[in-house]
């Protein structure tokens, strides 16, 4: 008893050879006319007009590019949304957390990256069925002829209209010679897709480790050798780094004393609280918007030390000297200019907040502080 059934020879296609490019164009047109769908033309060089004769539509590859391009867009946007507005929201340059214009370049890049890489991968592994490179036409006299100077047509047995005798007649009538049936090899029938073959996966892994290893080695070692490391030794100073050049050791420098930023008036009452108190007037009115801005800034910049109600109940738990209450006689009787001056220049241990808080915000904070003071020292007339 045979332990393995040896299959009969299975027909793949019937092929015919032509000598002239015009004949093969005609053959393609006739095959279309006869209604054959599964046939192919093999020529030794690109023959003009062939795709029209065979009525080949645009490649379906573009759909793959579209799908993966859109996935790239979605992935990139989702990722950036997750990172910058969900997981670690951070205000950068005053932009909203999800700042679409800033995300466009990355979105574009990822879209193009995914579309192009996946198009190539799909082309190789789905359309070309690599790494399976076996094909019934390989190693046939037909292939030898069409890859030197002949033109061939191969009508496949899987075509619904296929009938061996009819196809042979059809080719005969077109004037083909060397009309030959082509059969599958046994190996070609059993192995359809070799992507998942251990041999191929092993090959991919080998390529992966070789590339990764070489990249690691070159980036970490070769680039640190001899002439390759030019770019690492630059006469430059990175942010936050020490510098021996300056006596205070700071690499990042403060602007020179007296520097005036474009469009900004310097503070007129430097070191002169009495003058600030006398001449400065709050330009803002205590509207709802102003008070709410003042509240927000007070909570952010003042409340850590002065407490939410400005009673001096610091939340810094002894890391910084507790400030006095801002509900004292003294501060209640301060002019707005006094407080403005203290925010601008600081007072003793309290540092200046001129860099963090704009002028307008300072005035808004003062109005909010006035409201706080009134709330803690309400008079009977306030209730009426």
> Looking at 193, 328, 375, 377, which residue binds ligand HEC (CB under 6 A)?
328
- With b meaning 16 or more CB within 10 Å and e meaning fewer, what string describes 307-317? beebeeebeee
Among 305, 364, 367, 372, the residue binding ligand HEC under the rule CB under 6 A is 305
Cα distance between residue 339 and residue 277, in whole Å: 8
* 350 contacts ligand HEC (rule: CB under 6 A): yes
Binding of ligand HEC by 367 (CB under 6 A): no
Contact 323, 350 (CB under 8 A): yes
| Alpha-carbon gap, residue 22 to 43, rounded angstroms | 12
- Is the peptide bond preceding residue 131 cis, with omega within 30 degrees of 0? yes
Residue 368 near residue 291 (C-beta atoms within 8 A): yes
The answer to whether 41 and 155 have CB atoms below 8 angstroms apart is no
Decide if 155 contacts 14 (C-beta within 8 A). yes
Between 175 and 324, CB nearer to ligand HEC: 324
Minimum distance of ligand HEC from residue 362's CB (angstroms): 7
Total residues at interface with ligand HEC (CB under 6 A): 24
Nearer Cβ to ligand HEC (125/320): 320
Q: Smallest distance from the beta carbon of 339 to ligand HEC, in angstroms?
A: 5
Q: Encoding tokens for residue 253? A: 């420098």
Q: State the minimum distance, in angstroms, from the CB of residue 326 to ligand HEC.
A: 6
| 306 in contact with ligand HEC (CB under 6 A) | yes
Here the tokens at position 262 are: 């474009």
Are 91 and 97 spatial neighbours (Cβ–Cβ below 8 Å)? Answer: yes
* Near ligand HEC by CB under 6 A: residue from 165, 348, 381, 383: 348
321 belongs to the binding site for ligand HEC (CB under 6 A): yes
Which single residue is written with the structure tokens 């005053």?
94
CB of 278 to ligand HEC, least distance (A): 17
The Cα 244–Cα 251 span in angstroms is 8
Of 131 and 307, which has the nearer Cβ to ligand HEC? Answer: 307
- 315 binds ligand HEC per the rule CB under 6 A: no
155 with 167: CB under 8 angstroms?
A: yes
Closest contact distance (angstroms) between CB of 272 and ligand HEC is 16
Residue 353 is a binding residue for ligand HEC (CB under 6 A): yes
CB of 325 to ligand HEC, least distance (A): 8
- Which residues bind to ligand HEC, rule: CB under 6 A? 301-302, 304-306, 320-321, 323-324, 326, 328, 330-331, 339, 342-343, 347-350, 353, 357, 365, 369
């Amino acid at each position: 008893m045979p332990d393995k059934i040896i299959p009969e020879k299975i027909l793949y296609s019937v092929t015919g050879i032509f000598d002239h490019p015009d004949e093969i164009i005609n053959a393609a047109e006739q095959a279309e006319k006869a209604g054959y769908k599964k046939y192919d033309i093999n020529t030794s060089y690109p023959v003009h007009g062939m795709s029209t004769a065979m009525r080949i539509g645009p490649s379906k590859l573009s759909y793959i590019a579209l799908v993966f391009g859109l996935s790239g867009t979605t992935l990139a946007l989702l990722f950036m949304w997750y990172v910058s507005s969900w997981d670690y929201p951070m205000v950068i340059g005053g932009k909203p957390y999800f700042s679409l214009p800033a995300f466009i370049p990355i979105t574009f890049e990822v879209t193009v990256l995914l579309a192009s890489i996946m198009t190539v991968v799909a082309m190789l592994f789905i359309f070309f069925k690599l790494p399976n490179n076996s094909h019934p036409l390989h190693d046939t006299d037909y292939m030898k002829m069409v890859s030197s100077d002949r033109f061939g047509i191969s009508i496949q047995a899987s075509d619904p209209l296929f009938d061996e005798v009819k196809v042979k007649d059809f080719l005969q009538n077109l004037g083909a010679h060397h009309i030959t049936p082509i059969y599958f090899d046994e190996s070609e029938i059993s192995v359809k897709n070799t992507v998942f073959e251990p041999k191929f996966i092993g090959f991919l892994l080998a390529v992966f480790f070789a590339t990764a290893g070489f990249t690691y080695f070159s980036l970490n070692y070769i680039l640190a050798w001899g002439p390759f490391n030019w770019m690492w030794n630059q006469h430059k100073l990175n942010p936050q780094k020490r510098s021996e050049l300056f006596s205070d050791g700071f690499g990042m420098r403060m602007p020179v004393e007296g520097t005036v930023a474009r469009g900004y008036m310097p503070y007129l009452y430097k070191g002169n609280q009495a003058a600030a108190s006398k001449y400065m007037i709050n330009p803002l009115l205590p509207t709802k918007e102003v008070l709410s801005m003042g509240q927000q800034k007070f909570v952010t910049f003042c409340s850590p030390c002065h407490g939410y109600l400005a009673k001096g109940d610091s939340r810094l738990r002894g890391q910084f000297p507790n400030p006095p209450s801002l509900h004292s006689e003294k501060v209640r009787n301060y002019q707005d200019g006094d407080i403005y001056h203290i925010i601008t220049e600081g007072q003793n241990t309290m540092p200046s907040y001129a860099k963090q808080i704009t002028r307008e915000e300072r005035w808004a904070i003062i109005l909010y502080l006035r409201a706080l003071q009134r709330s803690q020292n309400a008079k009977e007339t306030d209730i009426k």
